[in-house]
Amino acid sequence: MSTTLYQKIQAFYDSSSGLWEEIWGEHMHHGYYGATGTQKKDRRQAQIDLIEEILQWADVTGVEKLLDVGCGIGGSSLYLSKKFQAQVTGITLSPVQVERAKERAVELGLQCQAEFLVADAQNMPFADNSFDLVWSLESGEHMPDKAKFMQECYRVLKPGGKLILVSWCHRPIDTYPLNTSEQKHLQDIYQVYCLPYVISLPHYIAIANQIGLQNIDSADWSEAVAPFWDIVIDSTFTPKAIFGLLRAGWTTIVGALSLGLMRRGYESGLIRFGLLYGVK
């Protein structure tokens, strides 16, 4: 990962994570609003429901040692650790997120089974065959080399272990390529959210086949999660959120002002929410 991109991602999450937790809680990912996106529910419950729906979709019934790639402040990591009584390791580029995740582990009494560290997902500091589940929930979009990232996930998986990757994607391009307007829309999203680029779900599937994953399955849950962005936008128009944005600084303010980019991306079908599952 280039130093410049690394620093941008780190700075973005160092500055914005505290506000996100204050307004939204510990889960820094989409919510699940039913298969057709029509269910009405508490916003935090929707985020927990997404985790549970993914586990059910991938038929995860037991985990002993798991890796959360792009762990944020430990939302998924600690939820999964508690659910499965598993040892969990979470990695992120943000030192601020690591420290908060460690604090939350102590608060939940999970410090003996949870570890968090700053690490590059494309060059992980773990031995081969270390984890029986690698969980990547909305971090793949930050990876500048998707194939290298997925190869690293495969490397640290134990034989028989499962990879669950959920990522922002753009629409498939096998029928027709992205047009100029779509490319511009994506570039605007990349700039705001410190992304090098996103790829389509079929592209992820092709990489999964190339690295040797077995029993590959995939799904597009765009419709189920799309309401998330309307709810996030609504939540920014509160005194608490406005004052929090001012404290967090310009980068976070720009991110908040640009939330409509993702909403419009889902509405047009350009942005997709892709899931991939495979076994080593």
CA max distance for the chain: 52
CA distance 190 to 270: 14
Instruction: Give the per-residue pLDDT at 176.
Output: 95
Query: 3-60+140-279, what's its fold?
Result: Rossmann fold (3.40.50)
Instruction: Give the per-residue pLDDT at 167.
Output: 98
Looking at residue 171, the DSSP 8-state letter turns out to be P
The angle subtended at Cα 198 by Cα 196 and Cα 200, nearest 5°, is 160
Instruction: Give the per-residue pLDDT at 247.
Output: 57
CA distance 53 to 63: 16
> What does each C-alpha distance from 121 to 68, 71, 92, 155, 219 come to in angstroms?
10, 11, 8, 12, 23
Residue pair 198/168 in contact by the 8 Å Cβ criterion:
yes
The packing angle between helices 3-24 and 95-107, to 10°, is 40
pLDDT per residue over 4-40, tens digit each? 888 989 988 888 787 777 877 899 899 999 999 999 9
- Residue 157: how many other CB atoms lie within 10 Å: 23
Domain ranges across the chain: 3-60+140-279
The distance in angstroms from the start CA to the end CA of the chain is 25
Q: Where are the beta strands (DSSP E) in the chain?
A: 65-69, 87-92, 114-118, 131-137, 157-170, 214-220, 271-279
Instruction: Give the per-residue pLDDT at 259.
Output: 77
Instruction: Give the per-residue pLDDT at 231.
Output: 82
Q: Which residues of 199-219 are buried (b: 16+ CB within 10 A; e: fewer)?
A: bbbebbbebbeebebeeeeeb
Which residue positions in the chain have pLDDT lower than 70? 1-2, 235-258
* Element at 27 (helix H, strand E): none
pTM: 0.92
Residue pair 12/95 in contact by the 8 Å Cβ criterion:
no
C-alpha dihedral, 216 to 221 to 222 to 224, nearest 10°: -170
Instruction: Give the per-residue pLDDT at 246.
Output: 47
CA distance 176 to 193: 26
Instruction: Give the per-residue pLDDT at 21.
Output: 78
